[in-house]
Structure 1
Amino acid sequence: MPESSPFQDPRPRESQPGSTRPGEAQPAGTQPAGTQPTVAQLAEDYAAKAGLHRTSNGNIDVLKSAGGVQGLAESILPGLVFLIAFTVSRELTPALVGALAVAAAFTVARLVQRKPLTQALAGIAGVGLSAWLANTTGKAEDFYVLGFFTNLGYIVAMSISIAVRWPIAGLLFGFIRNEGLHWRKDPARVKAYRIGTWVIITVLALRLLVQVPLYYMGEQGLAALATTRLLMGAPLYILGLWVAWLLTRPAAPAADAGHPVEPI
């Protein structure tokens, strides 16, 4: 995460929980002793941990939010190496070893660069579990099973967030836009963020609709499954995130005479 979080509480500093004195905000990530975090603080923490970033002009930085170039490589290359190695050798073991080696190399690279290890460790854990499943069953296509359950879990969680009127898109984008949780008081903003969440759900559902039938084709569908996994992974996620951002853009406030206001 960057040194200063882009997710700022839109309330006046003196009214923020934990302020040491008027005009002086509590340091980020700290809580007064014996107090429980508010819903707003939990939501801000969730948005920050989701790794979303914004550009200097206030728009979402989609590439950086997806992990940057290195993050994209970490998500794409292990699966690509697995596909190439299995296609060439037709042996499961070297393909699994190759994928694990790539994931391990990225983890070491982050250690050397002194970057946050969260994404790399999650990546190597995912590749390791996928390799274990494929090795246990002896089926190369089982290397991709974990992704199906991950997508399904996100679909369920996001659908629940819409049902309880806490759409995930609002929690993610609200703090980037300095809306905090105030958007929940505006039915139009709640509706917009529900639509944005449905966009992300659609991306996840499309992955399952396309990839699950290929999985059941066995090795005959492995190349197509691996290819669609790469294309519908980070690239499609970036597109879906950007579309959701655009669809949830608030209406531009009325401009003062001679001072047009740029929409967020």
Structure 2
Amino acid sequence: MTDPATEPDRPERPEREFPTIMEQMGGVPGIIASSIPVAVFVVVNIVAGLQPALFASIGAAVLVTVWRLVRKEALQPAVSGLLGVGVAAFIASRTGEARGFYLPGLLLSAGLFLAFVVSLVVRWPLAGVVWHGINGEGMGWRDDPALRRAYMLATGLWAIVFGARVVVQGILYDANEETWLGIARLAMGYPLFGLALLGTIWAVRRAQQRTHLA
């Protein structure tokens, strides 16, 4: 009696995965707020130079953290962003070049690109590992061929995103085009992240629907 009643509820589980991930990232306001320090650095560096830009970006990161604290929102994204801005500002200050501010992000993108590519080679698609790890669901998805293929596709998409960041921003970094580098950092940040996340959700839900129908 209870099994048929509970069976229709199973497909609804994926609907809760996306909000869970977004909540851990601080939601849409948190995603937008985390881009503010970089945007502030780009603008102030153009107008007033490197040192004011460094202070302004750190100040913006602190304000974002305080804003989250006052609103009782998740602090982990803000603290991570504050540390990231601090490291970027330190490198830029030590090198005396504005492009140094973007070096940590460039290296992170390169590391993530390699990680996603390696996970494809060893057939442990990182998109699946991260998705189910965040939601505490274990690695049982690897027993489902459709889900495995979906996560391989999603992992390839993430690899393309990070690879594109490395190529474009790497060229601008080598050319010391600090202004365009900052613009590229913003344009290839959360917009591309959002597209890759939507692609992951589409691929996974499509695979889950096929599994359910089978």
Normalised-by-shorter TM-score class: 0.7 to 0.9
Measure the CA separation in 1 of the matches of 2:158 and 2:198.
10
Q: How does 1:139-218 map to 2 (within 5 A)?
A: 139-174=97-132, 180-218=138-176
Aligned partner of residue 51 in structure 2, secondary structure: helix
> Is the 1:169–1:197 contact (alpha carbons within 8 Å) kept by the matching residues of 2?
yes
- 1:114 offset after TM fit, Å? 2.7
> Is the 1:58–1:177 contact (alpha carbons within 8 Å) kept by the matching residues of 2?
no
CA RMSD, aligned part only? Answer: 2.6
- 1:58 offset after TM fit, Å? 4.3
1:105 aligned residue: 63
> Is the 2:24–2:74 contact (alpha carbons within 8 Å) kept by the matching residues of 1?
no
CA pair 225-179 structure 1, distance change in 2 beyond 3 A: same
- Counting matched residue pairs gives 199
Measure the CA separation in 2 of the matches of 1:235 and 1:96.
24
- 1:67 offset after TM fit, Å? 3.0
- 1:86 offset after TM fit, Å? 1.1
> Is the 2:25–2:77 contact (alpha carbons within 8 Å) kept by the matching residues of 1?
no
Deviation sequence 1:145-180 (CA, Å, 0-9, x none)? 000111112122222323333212212344789974
CA pair 55-86 structure 1, distance change in 2 beyond 3 A: farther
> Is the 2:40–2:56 contact (alpha carbons within 8 Å) kept by the matching residues of 1?
yes
Indicate the structure with greater helix content.
2
CA pair 188-200 structure 1, distance change in 2 beyond 3 A: same
- 1:63 offset after TM fit, Å? 5.4
Kindly indicate whether residue 43 of structure 2 is the aligned counterpart of residue 84 of structure 1.
yes
Aligned partner of residue 150 in structure 1, secondary structure: helix
1:73 aligned residue: 32
> Is the 1:155–1:201 contact (alpha carbons within 8 Å) kept by the matching residues of 2?
yes
Q: Following TM superposition, where does structure 1 have runs of at least 4 consecutive aligned residues deviating by more than 4 angstroms?
A: 62-66, 174-180
Amino acid at match of 2:29: Q
CA pair 188-128 structure 1, distance change in 2 beyond 3 A: same
Measure the CA separation in 1 of the matches of 2:55 and 2:13.
38
> Is the 2:37–2:58 contact (alpha carbons within 8 Å) kept by the matching residues of 1?
yes
CA pair 179-213 structure 1, distance change in 2 beyond 3 A: same
Measure the CA separation in 1 of the matches of 2:183 and 2:27.
21
Gaps of 5+ in 2: 1-11
- 1:194 offset after TM fit, Å? 1.2
2:188 aligned residue: 232
Measure the CA separation in 1 of the matches of 2:188 and 2:13.
25
Amino acid at match of 1:226: G
Measure the CA separation in 2 of the matches of 1:166 and 1:81.
38
Measure the CA separation in 2 of the matches of 1:204 and 1:73.
19
2:91 aligned residue: 133
- 1:100 offset after TM fit, Å? 0.2
**What is the TM-score when the length of structure 2 is the normalising length?**
0.82
Aligned partner of residue 114 in structure 1, secondary structure: coil
1:120 aligned residue: 78
2:3 aligned residue: none
> Is the 2:92–2:99 contact (alpha carbons within 8 Å) kept by the matching residues of 1?
yes
CA pair 55-131 structure 1, distance change in 2 beyond 3 A: farther
CA pair 176-69 structure 1, distance change in 2 beyond 3 A: closer
CA pair 98-215 structure 1, distance change in 2 beyond 3 A: same
